Chains A and B, each alone.
Chain A
Amino acid sequence: MSHDHSHDHTEPPSDMELRVRSLETLMVDKGLVDPAALDALIDMYENQIGPRNGAKVVARAWTDAAYKQRLLDTPSEAITEMGFVGRQGEHMKVVENTTDLHNVVVCTLCSCYPWPVLGLPPVWYKSAPYRSRVVIDPRAVLREFGTEIADDVEVRVWDSTSEMRFMVLPQRPGGTDELNEAELEALVSRNSMIGVERAKPNNR
């Protein structure tokens, strides 16, 4: 599944490269797609939209109690307020991790994921091993990500079967009282907003 980067790029193109190129040419020739629109779509999701958006939402929720309440009560509106809107984020729900409760998100049936706040999902999120196992054995899956959950902590798995999209609000790490919003944002990893990891500790 993962692309091997050890080869040099003077090799002939792969079978998929050729098949996709051929289909794109055909679709352009038939007037089904505008090639410049394809470039714009790629730029949008490769360069413009990504998990730094979600990290801004989390850092603000950590520092602004009123915003955090809005984020939990009316998540779509609170996220829209930050300017992160659009496809695959139309209907948002935010679930909060606490000392007693750990939430983790999956889409067992495909790859549903909140694009406006997290960008496109990583390969592992879309992979059969993650999708199959996180619902039946979430604690082992979390351990595989280096996240130990104590036996007395409740674990909730959110399977994205509808058009609702879930984002985890990770717990604010200890010892971060002195940090400003931008510094806090740097502690918020993509994986912590999926719920497979915690926010990074403050190593300053």
Chain B
Amino acid sequence: MNGGHDLGGMQALGPINAEVDEPVFHATWEKRVFALCLAAGFLGKWNIDIGRHARERQHPADYIANSYYENWFAGLLTQLQESQLVSSRELNTGVSEAPATDVRVLPAAKVVETLTKGGPVHMEVGHEPTFTPGARVRVINAHPPGHTRVPRYIRDRVGVVRTHYGAHVYPDRSAEGVKEGQHVYSVQFGARELWGNSAPENNSVFVDVWDNHLEFA
């Protein structure tokens, strides 16, 4: 989706203004949103790609104007309703009308173990990678309406495969709830290919791209 989240190359967004000695969280509600999103992610109702897509589907003006954890909060509200864990009436009143069923709740005693274990995305796909390091590849010019991890600024651009990472969960399908593996590569794009001849010749961007977004150039 060509949403407000796909920011690479956008201009006029102002200075970066990095804060010195920044705290991890800037308000209590940020901590709670962070933890609510993480904990709810273990309910078994959605995966990380569905979560990302819920945030990306906001109106671009909202996505850009919101602070980071406001976007997480907005995504969480969407996910809770779409997965029918919470009704809009419950959200409006704040009153639970029925306890949740068929969920696995992350217990406090399992937090450290679960987060330390993480969730690797490697998969076996049973076929060889299409591209090998050194291959010249073009990113196909596609604008899928759903979730994708192909940023706009590399579409239809030519790069060189530098590393094959193996097969990982394919996000475009994962965001639809389908777990499917696909080979993924680190592809190097010269800055002039991406941004034109005014870019320095010795700048480049490395982007990870899945098999079916690439063709031989």
Contacts and interface: CB of A to CB of B under 8 A. Distances in A.
A20 B13 contact: no
B36 A16 contact: no
A133 B70 CA distance: 22
A37 B5 CA distance: 30
B185 to A, nearest CB: 9
Interface of B: 5-11, 13-19, 22, 24-29, 31-36, 38-40, 43, 52, 55-56, 64, 67-68, 70, 73, 76-77, 80, 85-86, 90-91, 94-96, 98-100, 103, 105-108, 110-112, 115-122, 149-151, 153, 165, 168-169, 171, 184, 186, 188, 194-195, 199-200, 202-210
B194 to A, nearest CB: 8
B27 A17 contact: yes
A119 interface: yes
A26 B85 CA distance: 11
B36 A38 contact: yes
A90 B121 contact: yes
A30 B151 contact: no
Residues of A in contact with B, size category: 35 or more
Interface centre among A17, A33, A141, A191 (most CB of B within 10 A): A33
B73 A37 contact: no
Contacts of A86: 115-118
B182 to A, nearest CB: 10
Contact of A32 (B32, B43, B55): B43
5 contacts: A24-B32, A32-B85, A33-B106, A109-B5, A109-B52
Contacts, number: 263
Given A20-B32, A144-B15, A157-B203, A131 B7 contact: yes
Interface in A159-179: 159-164
Interface in A53-109: 85-91, 93, 108-109
A17 B69 CA distance: 12
Interface string A134-155: 0110110100110000011111
Interface string A5-29: 0000000001011011111111101
A31 B56 CA distance: 27
A157 B32 contact: no
Contacts of B5: 109-110
- List 7 A-B pairs, minimum CB-CB distance, nearest first: A162-B208, A36-B108, A108-B8, A3-B26, A38-B35, A132-B10, A29-B96
Given A109-B52, A159-B208, 18 more contacts: A2-B17, A16-B70, A23-B91, A24-B32, A26-B86, A26-B90, A31-B99, A31-B103, A31-B105, A34-B105, A37-B110, A42-B31, A87-B115, A123-B26, A135-B205, A136-B8, A144-B15, A160-B208
